[in-house]
Structures are given as C-alpha cells and as structure tokens.
Chain A
Amino acid sequence: MAMIEVERLTKKYRDRTAIDALSFTIREGAIVGFLGPNGAGKSTTMKILTGFMPATEGKARVAGFDVFEQPLEAKRQIGYLPETPPLYPELTVRGFLKFVAELKAVPRAQVAKEIERCAAATGVTSELDRLNGTLSKGYRQRVGISQALIGNPKLLILDEPTEGLDPRQRNEVLQLIKGLSGKHTVVLSTHILAEVKAICEQVLIIHRGKIVADDTMAAITGGRENGLEEKFIQLTAN
C-alpha cells in the first residue's frame, strides 16, 4: 500500500515556481531519502505534505487521506520534524512532550508512558527536566525527533534531521532512524549523501523543483562505490 501519493504537485510563490508538477509514490514501511541541492524544493514539498501550506496545484495523499480535503486525518498519520526544531524555550522537555501528546490526542492514561518511550528512543531521558532553551543543538534536534515520534505516527517526515550534529550524534540519529524501519515509513531530507547511503532504500532526487531521479538505492548506484555521488552531481549539474 502506498503511504504517500503525490500527483503533479506544484507550488508557486508569486512568480517563482518552487516545485513543478512533482509526482511520486512512497510505499508503506520504506525509508526514503529526499535529496537535492539547497533551494531545490525539499522543504516546500515537506511543508505541503504535512499540511503546513497548501499547494498551488496538484494532489497529495497520506495513508489514503487527501492533505487538502481531510487535513486533520492526514495530520494524525504524520510525525514531522521541521527544519528548525519547534521547541518552546520556556518549557521543560517533559512539559513540551506532554503538550505535543495532548495536541496529538494521546489518551490521557498513556501520556507519561509515551513521553518515556519517545525520550528513551532518542536518548533524551536524562534531559527531561531541563528547559528547552538551555539545550545544546544536538539535544534540541533529538527532542525535535522525539516530538515527531509521539503518538506513534505511521509516517515520519524529517527535514534535515542530522543538521548541526557532531559525527557521533549524527551516527546515533541515523541508527535511530534505521531502527524505525518496518514500524514507520520515514521520509528524510538531507544534502549529505553518505547518510542516505547508510540507511535509505529508496532515493528521490529533486532539482529546481522537478524530480530527476526516483529509484531504489541499488538501481541508482549501480553497485559502484561512488555511484550515488556521481549520479547526484550528474543530475543536478545545471
């Protein structure tokens, strides 16, 4: 079953076209790398899929729900980490996760357990009683992912989840995402190819608002060591 179906999705900001008639499908349970140079339209696509902004034209469905026609149902299926982790600096990590659990209508009796689960999964258990505003960048990112996991959504959309992390943290976050495969469908955007190679099964490359590659990792690399880099540079050349 397809988790995401996108048909001819277009977004125009005044006279600039951010994404141009994108069409792709992502099957349930896949870990998909969403690649492209800076400004290619990755974040715009993610913002449309999560219902933050509407498209100018085209259709997008998440788990069978149209994101424009049935926004609340679609949003219930999604855990989203925006480019900047949406942390309220005045709240503690626990207070923040509790707030998110309430927004996502996690049953009252399960809230505490859900917070523990998501904090443990992202390694922030020891920081639960700190204020968000005092966290380091790495922890902010982790709390952001933790927040996306709350309510156990079917689909996780992570916009540059490893941005600003040190190599060790990067590795941990990647292992964490890899561990989610099977339980969740994960779409992550990045411009770091090594990360994609490490964990993704499907690769979408977007360039100047258009899809230039949509294939399995094996098909894109063709089995070569540097296959993904070569393909990426070749496809985004102009």
Chain B
Amino acid sequence: MRTILAIAKKELTVFLTTPWAWIVFTFFSFVASTFFMSSLTDFRRAHADVAQLSGGWSQVEPEFQFLRNLTDGVVMPTFSAMLMVMMFLVPVLSARLFADERRQKTFELLMTSPVSTTQIVLGKYLGGLMLVSLTVALMLIYPGVLTVFGSSFSAVTSEKTTTLEWPTVLLGFLGLLVWGAAILAIGTFISSLTESVIVAIIVTFCVSLLLLIVRILAPSAGEPLRSILEYASFEAQLRNFMRGVFDLRPLVFFSSLIAAFLVATHRSVESRRWV
C-alpha cells in the first residue's frame, strides 16, 4: 500500500510541477464558466418570460419545467455539458502516465525496483484519479456561487427557486467523477502501449469519439443493436445521476469498465518485458 501511495504521490507531484495539470484546470474552468453563464442567462430569461404569463409555471410545457429551479435549471445542465468536455481533457491527464516513463527511461527504475506490476498500475491510476478529482472539484465552485448569491434571483421570480438541492448536486458531481475515472482507465491503458505522449493523447481522443458516436448512433439503429448501443452509451448510463437519482447500475457498469482496462494495462506492462 505504501508503494502504491508513493507512486501516486510521485505522479501528482510531477503533474503539478509541469504545465499539464494547470492547462487542464484552466481550460476546464473556462469552458465550465461559459456553460454556467449561458445556463444562468437562459434561466433568467425563462423566469422573466414566465412572469408575463397569467398562469405562471402551470402553463409551461413539461419539457421546460426543469428551468423552474436553480438546481435543475442551471447546475445540472452545466454538469451534463461538462461530461463531453471531460472526454477531451482527461486524455491529456492520462497520456503521460506510462508513455512519459518510457520516453525518459525512468521505466527501468520502476521495473527493477522490488514492486509488482499491479502496484505500479494501481499507483499510477490512483495518482491520475487524484488529479481528475481535483479537476472535477472545480465544478463545485458554481453551486457554491449559487448558494451564496442565488437569492438575488428572487427579484425576477415568485418561485422558491433560490435554494439549491445539495443532494442532487452531489449526485451530479459523483456522475462526473465516475465518468472521469472511466476515461482515465481507458487512457491509462492506451498510455501503456506507446512511448509518445502525443500519440497517447490522440488515440485516447479517438476512442472517446467512438464513445460519442455510439451515443449518436443509438437512436437510429434497429433492434437489438439499439438496446446494446443504448446500454453502452455513457450518457444513458449517467442520465439518472444527472437527474439527481441515485442508481447502482452505472456504478457497476463503470467499475467493470475501469477494472477491465486496468487489467489490460497490467497485461500490457507485463508483456513489454517480453519483446
């Protein structure tokens, strides 16, 4: 356990002393803020419009009812939008985990130290996971801001919309975390296949794109393919989390995915010895 933590700590130190993590943090917050601002604008406009209606919110179509409160109208749409962004940012974090060790010839140190391949893989994954958690934790700023300043919306609406439902917010946060952990596992595996960080980033992007295509194809495919694609689609898996409903199935789905890719990484690192 101490070895795993030592490796994880080393990864975290390397990430935080190089620009990698900071680039990801900056870009992530920039995009998240943009989504947040646009959701807020929509929310404000919706409430201004509804105030003109004689019947108020009872006249609004069901599909726009989510705009009624801050949690479902602002926080959760922002979180959902970030699912897609993470597909392109987490690969940047996962890519150097193994590829960089090969390039800098430090891999020999790890492989000739009295540590097992399992410890190396888990240590590196854990280090990456800490960083993904830090990145996703940046998302907590927005509900935080709304908790402090949300009451200013009572000026535009009569609804009791200004208190956030933190349990819902935290489930959305968990959804983001689980999704990040899954991409990280895929990226870790891809990183173990190459010596080049750039190649690892690009290939992980492509795999992420495949996941995206699965999501796009699902509605147009015929049965039984449709059910399979629907099941494999990350958005369908995370839909309940993003609605604030706790669901065990996606947790099982993503843990299996993570376990499978970590086992594959282990095999890949081991097999490198045999060339």
Chain A residues close to B by CB (< 8 Å): 13, 47, 50-54, 72-73, 75-76, 78, 80, 82, 84, 86-91, 95, 99-100, 102-105, 147
Contact = CB atoms under 8 A, between A and B. Distances in A.
B114 A88 contact: no
Contacts, number: 75
Interface residues of B, number: 26
Interface string B90-102: 0000000000000
B108 A82 contact: yes
Contact of B3 (A52, A76, A88, A102): A102
13 contacts: A52-B112, A53-B273, A53-B274, A75-B113, A78-B112, A82-B108, A87-B104, A87-B106, A88-B104, A91-B10, A91-B13, A102-B3, A103-B114
A86 B109 contact: yes
B106 A88 contact: yes
Contacts of A73: 114
Given A51-B112, A75-B114, A105-B3, 10 more contacts: A52-B108, A53-B273, A76-B114, A84-B108, A86-B106, A87-B104, A88-B104, A91-B17, A95-B13, A105-B114
B2 A52 contact: no
A52 B111 contact: yes
A29 B104 CA distance: 32
Contacts of B3: 102-103, 105
Contacts of A88: 10, 14, 104, 106
Interface string B2-19: 110011011001100110
Which label, helix, strand, loop or mixed, suits the secondary structure of the B interface?
Answer: helix
Given A54-B273, A102-B3, A105-B3, A82 B18 contact: no
Given A88-B10, A102-B2, A80 B112 contact: yes
